[in-house]
Chains A and B, each alone.
Chain A
Amino acid sequence: MILDYRAFDTFGESNVLFVATITVLVLLHFNKKQSKAVSETQEISKRQAKEAALDRSFEPKNDPILQCVAKFLVPLILIFGIYVVLNGHLSPGGGFSGGAIMGAGLILYLNAFGFEKTERFFTEKTYKWISFAALTTYCLCKTYSFYCGANHLESHIPLGIPGHILSSGLILILNICVGCVVTCTMYTFYVMFRKGDF
């Protein structure tokens, strides 16, 4: 329903997520390279800058119970999230719910294993390129679809057999794109609130 009848609304909505993340990045992203220039030009006192830095770098100690449980749960959560995303056109679920589940799995990983391990694979560049790729794919798919529809041209996308995974035209691809955007957004919100840097 949301990816075909109201596809334009869902595109607008992914952009709402994107623009909210950009605004949170504007507010809370603290770039270490420019920290010296920033604290001179703004009127934050030294005490406040020190407090903010302490807040950012505070990391929970390695908790053995949490790490044991996370080793078991995080792969399960991620696989379940991917299952929900891929089955969006056949059963309840879809991009948004699956993306939220995967985002929660990544946040659990960050909390259990500390900042260094996640910084190895999820940096600012990762976020920007994944969002860019997902939103552009959505944009191109839907441009083709709307252009064909409005000009009454024949659309050449195979529809498949209802009930199978590779069916219903573009909806599977759009679900994956939306799932990527939501996962990155959830993780970015958490990381920005937690430590101000990726």
Chain B
Amino acid sequence: MSFVQNFPFFSIILSMFSGTICSVLPRKAAKVVNLAMLTIVGILSACVLGFTVASGESYTFMMGHFPAPWGNEIRAGVLEAGMALFFCIIMILSIVGGTHKLDEEVIESKHSLYYVLLNLLMSSLLALIYTNDLFTAYVFVEINTIAACGLIMIRESGRTIVAATRYMIMSLIGSGMLLLGICITYDLTGHLLMLNIKEAIAGLVVDGRYPAPLLVAIALMCVGLAIKSALFPFHSWLPDAYGYSTVSSAAILSSLVSKGYIFLLFKIIYRVIGVEIFNNSRIIDVLFIFGLAGMIFGSVSAIREKDIRRMIAYSSVAQIGYIYMGIGMGTEFGIVAAVFHVLTHAATKSLLFISCSGLTDVSNFERSFIPLTGSGYRHKVAGVAFTVGSLSMVGVPLFAGFISKLLFAEAAVQMVGSGKMLPVLIVLGISTILNAIYFIKTVIRIYTPVENSEYRTIKMSEVKLYSLILILFIILNLVLGCNSDPVVEMIRQGLGMFA
């Protein structure tokens, strides 16, 4: 066993250790430790990615001295290592891009606690990506939930505390259902490791025993995770939470937290239930319909919003709907499209939130549309970045969003026989038009010139670090948009070894 194979375990342990050490360090040292940990984990993930691409198969890492059905395991493949690397990159960019807002909005003594929460969030995301055991996944889902709640309310105002309360209530409903689903699955199969459960469930389906409890267990697990990642009817906490928290929290919450739960759902579909059994059950249709409804409803609500951050938050609801539509399609192309959309959405949504903070800075910190008129001229880098993000969300070619919409349309066209092709194409078209309505409207508004504005102007040289982060985000978006074939190929290879 080569040394590189230890790296996933080291990255999880390193992030947890840096979480505990940040609690005893003063503010600046905590920030340095945080960024250093993220860089090291990124490098380790890149090594694992190189190793798994070269070897062509995923491997399991035994945690402890007990072999498979009794002990705990983590498993690393191309898809997992790639996701870990990507999450590290997004997290570093979001934290550095939002630092100046963190200094303004959060009380000084709580900064080191904020870095502790970020470290533990990263460790829970890594553990969710790599784990091969259902109960470990549940424990780390809880760490994820509590750390995300802490991120929302680090900026203490009335609205963030109410938003955090609503978030916790919805999230705990989802957790309760997930735990009950895991318990019923343990009861039916007697195993906690994912692959053993899959064999046992396949045996149960072939024998025809316990069809009703199996359906209930699958339904509880899938719906529980869907509630936690803010699928359509359960999204009421989203606009408040993303709209009023501090900028780096909003970027990290929208890009990473919900994607952790969606990745766990992918794992459960592939490694616990098995793709055929999942496609035959009716849960997939429920997720599909809610995904379609979320796409339309999220965009309609975004059009009605007057506050720019709440508008971006509602657009998140629509994008999560896209991902669930991809899962609901039930083919491998659908899941590839959904995974690519996870990457696109993470990159673009954090770009939008961070550039939006720059635009509100030059409009006297107001967030409604009238003061924001013409802010693209007052802060050039933020304006360009916001335009790039909006065009990517709408799906203009050259940017990342176009490739993901193309993949969804290709996946739909391949399903000629089933009745799902036509709704997918129609709703894809309608939601693109709706996205265009509110994003292009905003872009035009920030570039409408205004005479005699008494608002301040920020030049690029004054905020060098912030401009650098925005330029890196734009480069990431263009790389995903223009050079997407290797990424899609890696996703396909990863999904092949995922099951």
Contact = CB atoms under 8 A, between A and B. Distances in A.
Interface in A1-17: 4-9, 11-13, 15-16
Given A22-B117, A26-B113, A4 B146 contact: no
Q: Which of A18, A26, A42, A129: most chain B Cβ within 10 A? A: A26
B62 A135 contact: no
Contacts of A69: none
A16 B139 contact: yes
Contacts of A9: 72, 135-136, 139
A57 interface: no
B19 interface: yes
A25 B146 contact: no
A150 B9 contact: yes
Contacts of A147: 6, 9
A91 interface: no
B140 interface: yes
A83 B170 CA distance: 40
Contact of B142 (A5, A16, A18, A132): A16
Majority SS of interface residues in chain B? helix
Contacts of A65: none
Contacts of A161: none
Given A6-B72, A146-B63, A13 B139 contact: yes
A164 interface: no
A20 interface: yes
Q: Which of A6, A12, A42, A129: most chain B Cβ within 10 A? A: A12
A9 B1 CA distance: 25
Interface string A119-155: 0000000001101100110010001011111111001
Contacts of B63: 7-8, 146, 149-150
Interface string B444-476: 000000000000000000000000000000000
A18 B63 CA distance: 23
B153 A26 contact: yes
A155 B139 contact: no
A12 B137 CA distance: 10
Contact of A5 (B19, B66, B158): B66
Interface residues of B, number: 47
Given A12-B127, A15-B120, A26-B110, A149 B64 contact: yes
Interface in B22-66: 23-24, 61-66
A12 B147 CA distance: 13
A54 B63 CA distance: 51
Given A19-B150, A149-B63, A128 B108 contact: no
A48 to B, nearest CB: 12
A6 B73 CA distance: 10
Contacts of B64: 4-5, 7-8, 145-146, 149
Given A12-B143, A31-B109, A150-B1, 8 more contacts: A11-B16, A12-B139, A26-B150, A34-B108, A139-B17, A146-B9, A147-B6, A148-B65
17 contacts: A5-B64, A5-B72, A7-B72, A8-B64, A8-B72, A8-B136, A9-B135, A13-B139, A15-B120, A18-B20, A23-B117, A128-B24, A132-B21, A135-B16, A149-B64, A149-B66, A149-B71
Interface of B: 1, 5-6, 9, 13, 16-17, 19-21, 23-24, 61-66, 70-72, 107-110, 113-114, 116-117, 120, 123, 127, 135-136, 139-140, 142-143, 146-147, 149-150, 153-154, 156-158
